């Protein structure tokens, strides 16, 4: 039943995001007198439609996209002066960029709701190892981290993404922090460690111990555990929450001995016998909050809603860089099926905390997906807004348009490649579900 709910919620969330994106294009078309014969959400056969003015609005069967179809010279019933091709390049730029911009606007507006109701994740130091590098540099539990090297920090998740993007090595780290309203700067030299690790991460909270991220070259992944699985026991000892798991690991640090990890997946518990891998790395002896929320009010809600938007945009860009540099694997890439699976995990992990928390977590997905869609559509890929923006910029520099038939061929090739990629991701998600 939860999966059915997740599918319905996923379709509704994607529908809202797509409608907002296409409405950005539609609004600019109306502003600059470009005819819009069709405006639709989804692809394939029409489920329902209605005509308003010159535009046919419709909802289609497959909820994987949509379009604000702008008039072109091939449309016989449209005044040539109202086609997109007839407009100056700067007007084209405004129209094409409006979709991604509206995605960012939607993410910001939803951030106002989430931040206003549940607050933000203050980047406060939650653990400072006694006599460790951070402790020796003067940092203490309760200090609020406001800077990491050249990066300003406002959310704990910002720092978490940065550490994944650029892991700690032996180089000194400059950490700016606040204590009692005063700002301090500490230089932390990470210590070399030789530790046994399973290669996964989880949220240190009162929710179930969901595997939130997993290293594809780690011991747990090799044993068969996957992202989204829920750890329910370690060596026979029951694990109910992320805090339980953290406490267990603290009391029973991993060695070279085999560990029995009991994992729940789709309602069934599986036992995996895992030999931790030796990891040689560097550690600052510092942990920080990236999950618990602190309440805000007044103008601070607006400020931190902007930081929430920035975090999601920057996080998407860094994820793309990590994907193309090999720091992320294709297992970290997913499509609509993966989104539904993650929504299902969200509902399952938070349903014990009440309807309000479930709704807030689901609404938060609009921020993530809308910001992600905005960034992806700005990439200079044919058939996407970024590809059309690139052609408009070329036209602006050349002072003459590229022949429509040539641009059309490029975008057609882009559409075919995107469809192939979509099918591959969809197939991969389905295979991953059953394996």
| Tens of pLDDT, residues 162-218 | 998 888 888 999 999 999 999 999 999 999 988 888 988 887 778 889 888 788 888
Q: What is the pLDDT at residue 369?
A: 93
Structure letter (DSSP) for residue 154: -
Separation of alpha carbons 313 and 375, rounded Å: 7
Residues 288 and 151 both lie in one domain: yes
Between CA 154 and CA 139 the distance in angstroms is 17
Same domain? For 208 and 181 the reply is no
Same domain, 134 and 257: no
Residue 423 is predicted with a pLDDT of 75
Is the pLDDT assigned to residue 297 strictly greater than 60?
yes
Domain match, 215 and 262 both:
yes
Residue 227 resides in a domain: yes
Render 105-123 in DSSP notation, one character per residue. Answer: HHHHHHHHHHHHHH-B---
Of 275, 309, 325, which closes a domain?
A: 275
Asked whether residue 213 falls in the same domain as residue 253, the answer is yes
pLDDT higher for 427 or 303? 303
In a domain, 287, yes or no: yes
- Please indicate, yes or no, whether residues 154 and 288 belong to a single structural domain of this protein: yes
Q: What are 59-72's pLDDT values in tens digits?
A: 998 777 889 999 98
Task: Give the pLDDT score at 298.
Answer: 85
Residue 1 pLDDT more than 50? no
Residue 20 covered by a domain: no
Q: Does position 343 have pLDDT exceeding 90, yes or no?
A: no
**Domain end marker among 224, 257, 292:** 292
User: At 330, is the pLDDT very low, low, confident or very high (cuts 50, 70, 90)?
Assistant: low
- Beta pairing, strands 277-283 & 191-197: antiparallel
CATH number of the domain residue 222 falls in: 2.30.42.10
Q: Per-residue confidence at 435, pLDDT binned at 50, 70, 90? A: low
Q: Flag whether 304 is in a domain.
A: no
- Report which of 141, 152, 204 is spatially closest to residue 176, judged by C-alpha positions: 152
Q: What percent of the chain has pLDDT over 90?
A: 52
Overall pTM > 0.85: no
Instruction: Check pLDDT > 60 for residue 154.
Output: yes
Lowest mean pLDDT, pick from 59-63, 294-298, 333-337: 333-337
- Both 169 and 288 in one domain: the answer is yes
pLDDT tens sequence across 281-293? 898 999 898 888 8
| One domain, residues 188 and 287 | yes
Question: 148 with 203, same domain?
Answer: no
Co-location of 159 and 287 in the same domain: yes
| DSSP letters for 25-77 | HHHHHHHTT---SEEEEEEEEEEEEEEETTEEEEEEEEEEEEEEE---TT-TT
Tell me the two tokens of residue 35: 């005819």
Q: Are residues 182 and 204 in the same domain?
A: no
What confidence score (pLDDT) does residue 433 get? 64
DSSP β-bridge partners for residue 128? 286
Shared domain for 125 and 178, answered yes or no, is yes
Residue 157 within a domain: yes
Which of 90-94, 107-111, 226-230 is least confident?
A: 226-230
Whether 40 shows a pLDDT value over 90: the answer reads yes
Mean pLDDT of 31-53: 92
* Three-class SS state of 203: coil
pLDDT at 98: 97
Answer yes or no: is 299 within a domain: no
Over residues 355-384, mean pLDDT: 90
Per-residue pLDDT at 105: 97
Residue 288 lies in a domain: yes
pLDDT band at 331 (very low <50, low <70, confident <90, very high): low
| Residue 3 reports pLDDT greater than 80 | no
CA distance 187 to 137: 6
> Using 50, 70 and 90 to split pLDDT, how confident is the model at 144?
very high
**Is pLDDT larger for residue 334 or for residue 25?**
25
Total domains, the chain = 2
- Domain-embedded: residue 256: yes
Going by pLDDT thresholds of 50, 70 and 90, the confidence category of residue 118 is very high
Q: Say if residues 132 and 286 touch (Cβ distance below 8 Å).
A: yes
Domain containing residue 268: 199-275
């Amino acid at each position: 039943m939860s999966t059915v709910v997740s599918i319905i919620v996923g379709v509704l969330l994607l529908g809202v995001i797509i409608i907002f994106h296409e409405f950005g294009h539609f609004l600019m078309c109306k502003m600059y007198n470009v005819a819009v014969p069709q405006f639709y959400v989804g692809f394939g056969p029409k489920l329902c439609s209605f005509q308003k003015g010159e535009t046919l609005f419709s909802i289609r069967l497959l909820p994987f996209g949509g379009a604000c179809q702008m008039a072109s010279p091939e449309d016989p019933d449209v005044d040539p002066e109202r086609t997109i091709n007839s407009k100056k390049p700067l007007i084209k730029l405004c129209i094409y960029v409006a979709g991604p911009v509206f995605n960012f606007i939607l993410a910001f507006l939803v951030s106002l709701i989430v931040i206003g109701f549940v607050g933000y994740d203050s980047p406060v130091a939650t653990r400072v190892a006694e006599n460790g590098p951070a402790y020796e540099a003067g940092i203490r539990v309760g200090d609020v981290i406001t800077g990491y090297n050249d990066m300003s920090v406002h959310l704990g998740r910002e720092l978490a993404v940065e550490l994944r993007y650029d892991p700690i090595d032996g180089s000194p780290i400059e950490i700016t922090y606040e204590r009692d309203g005063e700002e301090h700067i500490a230089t932390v030299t990470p210590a070399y460690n030789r530790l046994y690790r399973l290669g996964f991460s989880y949220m240190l909270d009162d929710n179930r111990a969901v595997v939130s991220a997993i290293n594809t070259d780690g011991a747990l992944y090799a044993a068969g555990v996957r992202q989204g699985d829920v750890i329910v026991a370690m060596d026979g000892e029951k694990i109910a929450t992320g805090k339980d798991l953290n406490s267990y690991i603290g009391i029973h640090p991993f060695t070279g001995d085999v560990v029995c990890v009991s994992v729940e997946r789709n309602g069934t518990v599986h036992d995996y016998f895992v030999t931790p891998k030796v990891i040689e790395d560097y550690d600052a002896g510092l942990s920080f909050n990236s999950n618990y929320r602190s309440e805000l009010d007044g103008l601070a809600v607006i400020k931190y809603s902007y930081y929430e938007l920035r975090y999601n945009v920057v996080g998407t860009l860094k994820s793309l860089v990590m994907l193309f540099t090999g720091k992320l694997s294709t297992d970290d890439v997913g499509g609509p099926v993966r989104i539904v699976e993650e929504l299902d995990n969200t509902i399952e992990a938070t349903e014990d905390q009440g309807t309000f928390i479930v709704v807030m977590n689901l609404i938060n997905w609009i921020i993530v997906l809308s910001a992600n869609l905005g960034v992806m559509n700005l990439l200079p890929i044919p058939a996407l807004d970024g590809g059309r923006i690139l052609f408009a910029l070329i036209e602006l520099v050349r002072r003459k348009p590229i022949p429509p038939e040539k641009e059309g061929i490029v975008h057609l090739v882009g559409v075919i490649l995107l469809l192939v990629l979509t099918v591959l991701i969809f197939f991969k998600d389905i295979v991953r579900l059953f394996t």
